[in-house]
Amino acid sequence: MRLTEIFKTTQGLAVMLLSLVLSGPTWAAPDAVAGKLKAQLCVSCHGAEGISSMAGTPHLAAQPPLSVFYQLIQFRNQQRKSDAMQAIAANMSDQDMRDIAAWYASLPAPPAHSGSETALLERGQQIAQQQFCASCHGAKLEGQKHVPRLAGQASDYFTQQLKNFRSGERAGMDGTMASAARSLTDEEIQAMAIYSRSLP
């Protein structure tokens, strides 16, 4: 996806979010302590410290709070597919979601895993640069605002989600990821997963 298109999309989304904040109700501040208690529902899959040991399940530790919040909103609104997550999010208030997001944002980031796949790692870095991933996900893919952290993410989850964006099974918030993933091959996605997993 061209960098100018990414900037235009991100700018438009920022304006939309600002208008919602200015016109919406007054919310209580996110409470990470309350979020820890509310996140007990999440522990069996996402781990006590937000680092999952379950295949195909994302690490949530150190994710930007807006990213977790908006994903939960999408599950609750059935805009993102997952029977388990839709059922859990259906019973959450916006405040519950903000508190849980604040808790996960407060946790230490997942450890980096570089492994011995040097060639694939370097190829993944090259593709990430070509795709301008850093323009939305941050210079070290650490995530920012509503955009998720990719650094240290489980490679099987990363791989499956990019394939879902590519196929259209996962829509995303604004079409940016679907556009970015459309031309990627399975091998390129695997390389990007290994690269992102290697980042602290």
**Which residue range is the domain that position 182 belongs to?**
118-197
- Phi, psi (degrees; rounded to nearest 5) at 160: -65, -40
Among 105, 138, 168, identify where a domain stops: 105
Which of 105, 126, 160 terminates a domain? The answer is 105
- The lowest-confidence range among 98-102, 115-119, 192-196 is 115-119
| pLDDT of 87 strictly over 50 | yes
Number of domains the chain is built from: 2
Nearest to 195 by CA among 143, 118, 138, 132: 118
Numbered residues of the known binding site: 42, 45-46, 85, 133, 136-137, 177
Per-residue confidence at 12, pLDDT binned at 50, 70, 90? low
Instruction: Decide if pLDDT at 20 tops 70.
Output: no
Extract the annotated binding site for heme c. Answer: 42, 45-46, 85, 133, 136-137, 177
pLDDT top residue among 74 and 26: 74
d(CA 17, CA 78): 20
pLDDT at 163 over 90: yes
Mark whether 122 and 193 lie in a shared domain: yes
In this prediction, residue 22 carries a pLDDT of 44
Output the pLDDT for position 11: 52
